[in-house]
Chains A and B, each alone.
Chain A
Amino acid sequence: MTEELLRLDEVRKHFGLSGAPWRAAQTVKAVDGVSLVVRKGETVGLVGESGSGKSTLARVATRLLDPTSGRVQIGGKDVTKLRGRRLRPTRRTVQMVFQDPQASLNPRQSVGTILSTPFRAQGTRPTRAQLIELLEKVGLSAEHLERYPHEFSGGQRQRIGIARALAVSPELLICDEPVSALDVSVQAQVLNLLADLRDELGLSYVVVAHDLAVVRQVASRVAVMYLGTIVEEGPADQVYAAPAHPYTKALLSAVPMPEPGVTRDRIVLTGDVPTPISPPSGCPFRTRCYKAEDICATDRPVLEIINGQTEHRAACYFPEPPPPERK
């Protein structure tokens, strides 16, 4: 088995909501018991709608946030309890690419300063050649070194964000919605860049996205999140071809078909995502599920192997059967 770069065990992240002192304290269960393994060479797509906890999970995995409970292992080392200075070696293994390149680059720093920050944080000073090499890796050049973020287009800014993440030569990049803030025409360029870097540098990725098409393009494995839990996980082709969880099936049915004239049965979900302050009992999806029965309200389903596939797992009592072979 190949090397595990990231391993999350039953990770929970609850945020306390402070209100008036006479009210009961509330907690938002942003991530509620997620286990996930990322191995070397893999690209894991983490999909889910807004508020499903995918960005929070990404921040726990990079240890920007402390998990409420559970365990985070990076490069085979338990880093759950590490903080501050002692996390620095870990930072060299896992780096993060942020969603909004406008917000993730300091507007008062030149590109050169932005790119040298990771080096300084690790206690070294980069040479100009190192910085230029970084820029060239992401398709920019030496002339961009002295410029400021506002002088770049969205796609170029995201390239700078990627270059910064690459500065410490990480093995795993966690990309939080890396293209959702970009124009559609630029999205493909950035995704291609990520793919090129994977081949060139042997990187692994966790790509957080709400866009299933984006994940389909890059991911080798997919995890679907709903209300802070993973409801389905498996190799990308299997999940896309034979979604087992009703939620995944509903999500996929909403993806527009590229061929004109081809239609599919759309499963329209009613209602909103329940509040993560008081998620439903049992299965978190049961309030919107078209297959829900009594057991779904009482017992929480766990991820189980389905359809006899060893890698494909879903947390559902009534998984969808695989579709008949299409001719």
Chain B
Amino acid sequence: MSSSVAGVVSPTRQALRRVRRDRSARFGLVLVVVLIVVAAASPLLVKLSGQDAFTYHIDLLDPVRGNAPRGSFGGVSAEHWFGVEPLTGRDLFSIVVLGLRTSLVIAIVVTLVTTVIGTLLGITAAYVGGWFDAVLSRFLDFLFGFPQLVFMIALGIIVPTSVPRPLLLIGVLSFFGWAGLARLIRAQARSLVTREFVEAARSVGSSGWWVITRELLPNLLGPVLVIATLAIPGYIGAEAALSFLGVGVPPPTPSLGRSISDSIVWVYTGTDPWFMVFPGIALFTAVLGFTLLGDGVRDAFDVRLRRTH
């Protein structure tokens, strides 16, 4: 029986197998892996290039053109692989790879935090019901109705600089981020808790924690994975946007969003468009990679798109 051999594989593993078969998902996965490796090895890469992100190289700038880098492509050379930053002459390669690390770390940590909180609270609300569900649902409504961006900007200005900004960003993005996931998971879990296998688990004496983590969670792993992978590019963008607006990661810590923000005037005047290209490509690749992967994961878990094999 060949069908029984394939069937021994759990449904989640089958879905992941489908991800591997999906061409664009595979491309996304490759991008994601490369970016994560680059981000993880960024201090090494920076050392390898013989530069750092903080040293000023005024000699590489052209005062005649408003301190734009000398040379073509924003001053690309054997020493400075992506050229240098205008006005300061700092090594752009170092800034990009370290900025990528900042972006990815914040996005991934926020995604992990919001996924765990949102999933557990969403399932618990559906399973426990009653006042817990009512209170949580109203709180979710509150979070949805809240002007998040304005609040984040205001908070970024008010909070004293003694609080590390990356931590503040993670906290703020997480605080607002879990609401959408929790609401989706709650809706999905509500249709599950009425299924008899939940009653069956209770009737043999399983605890609530067991039912939530062992009976309900595995059935929701698909949607959770999909939402989580699709959330990462959103948080990369959100972190970049906040840094762009000046309330994200403060200088001199490299940040893709802030570099892009700083580059606007150089693109606008046409003196150094390359200042935007390198961080822009890094940000674009990160968002693209995670989005393609997320789409692939979603397709793999979507029964409507399931191909017979």
Point out residues on A near B: beta carbons under 8 Å: 59, 62, 64, 84-85, 87-88, 91, 95-96, 98-100, 103-110, 117-118, 120-122, 146-148, 150-151, 161, 164-165, 167-168
Contacts and interface: CB of A to CB of B under 8 A. Distances in A.
Question: Which 4 pairs across A and B sit closest by C-beta, in order of nearness?
Answer: A104-B196, A108-B218, A118-B204, A121-B205
B196 A150 contact: no
B200 A120 contact: no
Contacts of B8: 146-148
Interface residues on B, range: 20 to 34
Interface in B1-42: 3-4, 7-8, 10-12
A108 B14 CA distance: 12
A164 B204 contact: yes
A115 to B, nearest CB: 10
Contacts of B197: 103-106
24 contacts: A59-B199, A62-B203, A64-B203, A84-B208, A88-B205, A99-B196, A104-B199, A104-B200, A105-B200, A106-B215, A107-B11, A108-B10, A108-B11, A108-B219, A109-B214, A117-B201, A117-B206, A118-B204, A121-B210, A122-B204, A147-B4, A148-B7, A148-B8, A168-B204
B309 interface: no
Given A107-B219, A108-B12, A122-B204, 19 more contacts: A59-B199, A62-B203, A64-B203, A103-B197, A104-B199, A106-B218, A107-B11, A109-B215, A117-B214, A118-B205, A120-B206, A121-B201, A121-B204, A147-B7, A148-B10, A148-B11, A150-B7, A151-B7, A164-B200
Contacts of A98: 196, 199-200
Contacts of A108: 10-12, 218-219, 221
A108 B220 CA distance: 10
Contacts of A85: 207
A17 B202 CA distance: 24
A87 B199 contact: no
B195 interface: yes
A87 B205 contact: yes
B196 A91 contact: no
Contacts of B206: 117, 120-121
Nearest to A62: B203
A117 B196 CA distance: 15
Contacts of B12: 108
B300 to A, nearest CB: 15
A91 B205 contact: yes
B12 to A, nearest CB: 7
B196 A103 contact: yes
Contacts of A96: 199-200, 203
Given A99-B196, A103-B196, A164-B200, A110 B205 contact: no
A121 B207 contact: yes
B7 A106 contact: no
A117 B199 CA distance: 13
A110 B10 contact: yes
Contacts of B199: 59, 64, 96, 98, 104
Nearest to B203: A96
B177 to A, nearest CB: 26
A167 B206 CA distance: 13
A74 to B, nearest CB: 12
Contact of B218 (A109, A120, A164, A165): A109
A120 B215 CA distance: 13
Contacts of A59: 199
B219 A106 contact: yes
A229 to B, nearest CB: 24
Q: Could you say which of B10, B197, B208, B221 has the most chain A C-beta atoms within 10 Å of its C-beta?
A: B197
A91 B203 contact: yes
A150 B8 CA distance: 11
